[in-house]
Amino acid sequence: MTRLRFMVICALAVANFGCSKDATFTEVSPPLAAIHWVNAVPDTGQQDIRVVDIVSNAGLFDVDFRGSNMFYQPIEAGTRTVRIFMSSVTNQQVASTVIQESNLALTAGSNYTVIHAGFARTGGTPARAVLVIPDNSPQPATGQIALRVINAGAGVAGGSVDVWFVRHPVVPTSPIDSLPDARSVAAVAYGTASTYASVPMDVAVTDSVRIVVTAAGTKTPILATIKAPAGLAAQTAPPADAIAGSRVSGSVVTAVIVPASVAGSQAPQGGAFATPSALYLVDRRPLTAVP
């Protein structure tokens, strides 16, 4: 009996110690980086982008050409192994097919845009590759936003483009004098990013910042005209954080230039996919007035 009582007391003591530890234990968060993922491959089907060297929720899944995550996703810093698979919910053989593997060196506290770009089909130039672009976004002054361009437009304009940030509609067939001589960003080569340009925020209902893309050194033909997202200012009733965009001071946005889809491929076809375009990513959210 004495021995049994002793064992019960010990068990209760261990249980109490365990409960006390659980109540006071704080799990240390790992050092994190932040990442945008983009699928800019214009001639193949859906993809899964996965981190495979650690257990992680980071990635982009069942994503079509031109799919992306507009807002950053946290990812554990360090050297991460990323594999890109073909995507299928019905065919395991397809879903296990690795089409690209890359090691990403990610620094804690830093932001990156990772783009799978280029052509998947044999002989396509440039061939698909993973572009890793560091994002060092500025803090715009009051009344300003910042815009940047990444050229992931495989085959667009021979590889290098000029970009204007304008506030009036520009029709692809418009005359050459519809654009100013001074480019907002000149000669952005394929696979590279421009610096951030400071632009006044939209202040009128009719204002709408657009990016206009042409081949480097020309004004015509206009390859793409894409409106920037307007965004939404912070609200107090009901409380809501600001959403970055051209009408919200302090916003920092990247436009990723993407090509048209390849006719007859598994990429989405027709409509907006028939011509080059751009995807917008938020690199810095505006300061919010909501407590």
Please state the domain count of the chain.
1
Residue 161: Cβ-neighbour burial (10 angstroms; 0-12, 13-18, 19+) = buried
Q: Strand 160-166 to strand 185-189: parallel, antiparallel, or no bridges (unpaired)?
A: antiparallel
DSSP labels for 39-82?
EE-TTS--EEEEE-SS----EEEEE-TT-B-SS-EEEESEEEEE
Residue predicted with more confidence, 22 or 71:
71
For residue 173, what pLDDT is reported? 53
Which pLDDT tens digit goes with each residue over 126-139? 999 999 999 999 99
Q: Which has the closest alpha carbon to 74: 105, 33, 36?
A: 33
- For the whole model, what pTM was predicted? 0.85
For residue 207, what pLDDT is reported? 80
Q: How far is CA 151 from CA 89, 155, 193, in A?
A: 31, 11, 6
Residue predicted with more confidence, 266 or 172:
266
For residue 11, what pLDDT is reported? 47
Q: State phi, psi for 2 to the nearest 5 degrees.
A: -60, -40
For residue 174, what pLDDT is reported? 53
Kindly indicate the confidence band of residue 9, based on its pLDDT and cuts at 50, 70 and 90.
very low
CA 257 to chain centre: 12
- pLDDT exceeds cutoff 60 at 285: yes
End-to-end CA gap in the chain: 62
| Residue 105 to residue 21: CA distance in whole angstroms | 36
Residue 5 lies in a domain: no
Burial of 88-119, coded b for 16+ CB within 10 Å and e otherwise, reads beeeeeeeeeeebebebebeeeebbbbbbbbb
Are the CB atoms for 38 and 116 separated by under 8 Å? yes
For residue 106, what pLDDT is reported? 96
Within 10 angstroms of residue 193's Cβ, the number of other Cβ atoms is 21
Which pLDDT tens digit goes with each residue over 77-111? 999 999 999 887 777 777 778 888 999 999 999 99
∠ CA 162-165-166, nearest 5°, is: 125
10-24, 62-76, 124-138 — which is least confidently predicted? 10-24
Tell me the residue range of the domain where 76 lies. 32-284
Residue predicted with more confidence, 124 or 168:
124
Q: How far is CA 208 from CA 31, 122, 169, 202, 277, in A?
A: 38, 40, 9, 6, 17
Which pLDDT tens digit goes with each residue over 202-247? 988 778 899 999 999 999 899 999 999 999 888 887 888 888 999 9
Kindly indicate the confidence band of residue 177, based on its pLDDT and cuts at 50, 70 and 90.
low
Residue 248 lies in a domain: yes
| Residue 193 to residue 283: CA distance in whole angstroms | 13
- pLDDT exceeds cutoff 70 at 3: no
Residue 154 lies in a domain: yes
Residue 24 lies in a domain: no
- pLDDT exceeds cutoff 50 at 5: no
Residue 234 lies in a domain: yes
Residue 19 lies in a domain: no
Which pLDDT tens digit goes with each residue over 192-203? 999 999 999 998
Residue 18 lies in a domain: no
Residue 237 lies in a domain: yes
For residue 24, what pLDDT is reported? 64
